[in-house]
Structure 1
Amino acid sequence: MFDGRVVPWHNWCPCKDLNMHIFFNMLAIVFAIVALITLLSYAIYWYESANLSPQLLEQRFAPRRLLLALRLLVSETLLLFVSVVLHPLGWIWPKEKPTVDGGKPPIILLHGLFHNRSCWWWLKWRLKRAGYRTIYSLHLSAWHDIEVLTELIAKKVDRLRLQAGVEQVILIGHSMGGILARNYIQRRGGAARVAHCIQLGTPNGGSKLAPFAVSPLARNLLPGSTFLAELNASKLPSDIPLTSIYSRHDNIVIPAASARLNGSREIELQGMGHMGLLYKKSAVAAVLKALEDSTA
């Protein structure tokens, strides 16, 4: 029975609960899509791996194999989901001001296709904890030509060298970002401006998943593409340390051997997918070790 008391509007309005319900439903949908993408990518990974090594078919139901498959699926789904949820933060990333870091070259982070600066949050935090203070990241649109993006990197490097008063920078590229770093060093005259280049899961030989990407940039990542043929035919500068860190269980760079790069220092990891290279402890440790070796 109505007792005559006035109830504040915000106490009975269902809008708040409705908005929360919609929000969590949207998160559930995003998670389902991410899980499906991860499952399909690993299905293709398994198909290619089994064709390359038929003996794998005899071990596919071994308990340790099933446990590894489950761990990879769960881990990669969660990490990709986190990256997708944080993606909008990359659009409002605060402006990074140049600083001088005790003689250490500044680090420029180059993300992969369809990602943005937000994917670097964990590695950037770990780098700062390790004593690296001058860290920058670029937004690389998936809808621009590869040479346009390389020019963007070249301008950023030159501007940073001028503002921070240094001669060289360090480039760390994940996936497509590693290809852009190589293009800058090998074909656009950037070798003298780079102290070290570190690749994380970079498809140096292309990826068989590239045809599924809707971006025109993906054409450059097709195995045997004209761009990759020209890039791989150009000589790696002998005076620049180049480290290629990759996982044998990468679900995006298929086959995983495509991440190898002759003439570089190759570090093969396992037990992680494509996004795991940005977050997993062993991958971060490999990056820090490579930086330590180059700046020692």
Structure 2
Amino acid sequence: MIFIGLITLAAAVIFIFVHLTAYAVRWAVEGRWTQDERSLAEAPLSGALHIAAEILSSGAVLLLLVADLALIIRHLRWKRPPPAAASAPAPPPGDDSLLPGAGPPAPPGTARRPVVLLHGAGMRGLTMAPLARKLRSEGLEVHLFTYWPPGLRFEAYARQLSDYLESIRGETGGLEFDAVGHSMGGLILRRFIVVLNGPVKIRRLVTLGTPHGGSVLWRFAPPALGRQLRPGGEFLRRLDEAGLPPGVEATAISGGFDQLVVPNANARWEGATNHTIPDAGHTRLIFHRETLRIVLGALDQKTLAQEVSSH
């Protein structure tokens, strides 16, 4: 028991150290970018609180990843189909039927289109469950998509998304979806709407902390991804040149305390409606209540339109 406690403590220390290192790098690079070089130690108290909130959010996501692994193991071990159901089709890639709280679709008429959530790099669908639960409580029909395995190019993940949307179109009763993508998930959505937005379409999409302009920290990513996410690289340039197809509406939400999109300005998306949550880090965007407000407004334009007209 003591050994497990020591291992847990060591893991927590390493976890916090990695986050502080990422913020130190972000602080230095952002300072050079804005000609205001400072060290992380010079951050105000509010900055320390934002970092603490980000670390707690990342810890929650890590626990969700562990829960996701446990669900997969449990499914493989205990959910053997009976002989009569042996010929039944397997769940499609990215199916969220194993996730707690997946629940039935929202009642007809409570949402205009089903919403698909995409996680960030190194994550899985379950890490978007906190946001999914909040959206479902607002009457939206939500699906969690997992792209897998890590390290593939965006083209491969976009094809996985296309196959997934095709596989669930029967149960959703339509050919049109809205989508929310966290971090790299937003770029997968952009790749999809540029190349594969065919009979099954995404009409509205929201990105959370997506490096639309790349990030200098992605140089440490696997080569295939690192090249595509390099600031000024060909992949991002082609996405920008393609723009948004007619009929597609986009919103980009960035965190003012994002430690992974460096510089933070690279989370802005030219041609989209941009919002910044000043106190949100990269992972905290998933949990932030302001994120929920903006996402709901983007998926149902009446909310923000009423707010704008009242000012």
Q: TM-score, normalised by structure 1?
A: 0.84
Counterpart of 1:102? 108
Greater mean alpha carbon deviation, residues 143-152 or residues 106-115: 143-152
CA RMSD in angstroms comes to 2.5
Given candidates 183, 186, 196, the residue that maps to 1:178 is 186
Query: Does 1:136 pair with 2:143?
Result: yes
Greater mean alpha carbon deviation, residues 121-130 or residues 155-164: 155-164
For the residue of structure 2 that corresponds to 1:30, the secondary structure is helix
For the residue of structure 2 that corresponds to 1:24, the secondary structure is helix
Amino acid at match of 1:71: L
The Cα offsets for residues 205-257 of structure 1, whole Å up to 9 and x where unpaired, read as 10111012236323311112221121111121231110101112211111111
Q: Structure 1 residues 273 and 170 mapped into 2: Cα distance closer, same or farther (>3 Å)? A: same
For the residue of structure 2 that corresponds to 1:54, the secondary structure is coil
The answer to whether the 8 Å contact 1:83/1:119 transfers is yes
Q: Structure 1 residues 173 and 213 mapped into 2: Cα distance closer, same or farther (>3 Å)? A: same
Given candidates 254, 260, 270, the residue that maps to 1:252 is 260
For the residue of structure 1 that corresponds to 2:282, the secondary structure is coil
Amino acid at match of 1:78: L
The answer to whether the 8 Å contact 1:191/1:237 transfers is no
Counterpart of 1:282? 290
Q: Structure 1 residues 57 and 145 mapped into 2: Cα distance closer, same or farther (>3 Å)? A: closer
Shift of 1:100: 6.0
The answer to whether the 8 Å contact 1:170/1:194 transfers is yes
- Structure 1 Cα separation of the partners of residues 97 and 40 of structure 2: 49
Counterpart of 2:280? 272
Shift of 1:25: 2.9
Given candidates 67, 73, 76, the residue that maps to 2:54 is 76
Query: Does 1:151 pair with 2:159?
Result: yes
Structure 1: where are the runs of 5+ without partners?
A: 1-17
- Structure 2 Cα separation of the partners of residues 157 and 143 of structure 1: 22
Q: Structure 1 residues 175 and 191 mapped into 2: Cα distance closer, same or farther (>3 Å)? A: farther
The answer to whether the 8 Å contact 2:243/2:271 transfers is no
Counterpart of 1:4? none
Structure 2: where are the runs of 5+ without partners?
A: 72-95, 306-311
- Structure 2 Cα separation of the partners of residues 287 and 210 of structure 1: 26
Shift of 1:124: 1.2
Larger radius of gyration: 1
Matched length: 273
Percent identity, aligned pairs only, is 25
Q: Structure 1 residues 121 and 192 mapped into 2: Cα distance closer, same or farther (>3 Å)? A: closer
Q: Structure 1 residues 272 and 100 mapped into 2: Cα distance closer, same or farther (>3 Å)? A: closer
The answer to whether the 8 Å contact 1:200/1:245 transfers is yes
Counterpart of 1:208? 216
Counterpart of 1:41? 22
Amino acid at match of 1:102: P
Shift of 1:183: 0.3
For the residue of structure 2 that corresponds to 1:254, the secondary structure is coil
Amino acid at match of 1:41: A
The answer to whether the 8 Å contact 1:207/1:223 transfers is yes
- Structure 2 Cα separation of the partners of residues 42 and 223 of structure 1: 19
The answer to whether the 8 Å contact 1:41/1:252 transfers is yes
The Cα offsets for residues 18-43 of structure 1, whole Å up to 9 and x where unpaired, read as 3xx34433332332222112111111
- Structure 2 Cα separation of the partners of residues 219 and 292 of structure 1: 36
- Structure 2 Cα separation of the partners of residues 32 and 60 of structure 1: 18
For the residue of structure 2 that corresponds to 1:209, the secondary structure is helix
Query: Does 1:24 pair with 2:31?
Result: no
Q: TM-score, normalised by structure 2?
A: 0.80
Shift of 1:55: 4.1
Greater mean alpha carbon deviation, residues 276-285 or residues 105-114: 276-285
Shift of 1:200: 0.4
Q: Structure 1 residues 59 and 138 mapped into 2: Cα distance closer, same or farther (>3 Å)? A: closer
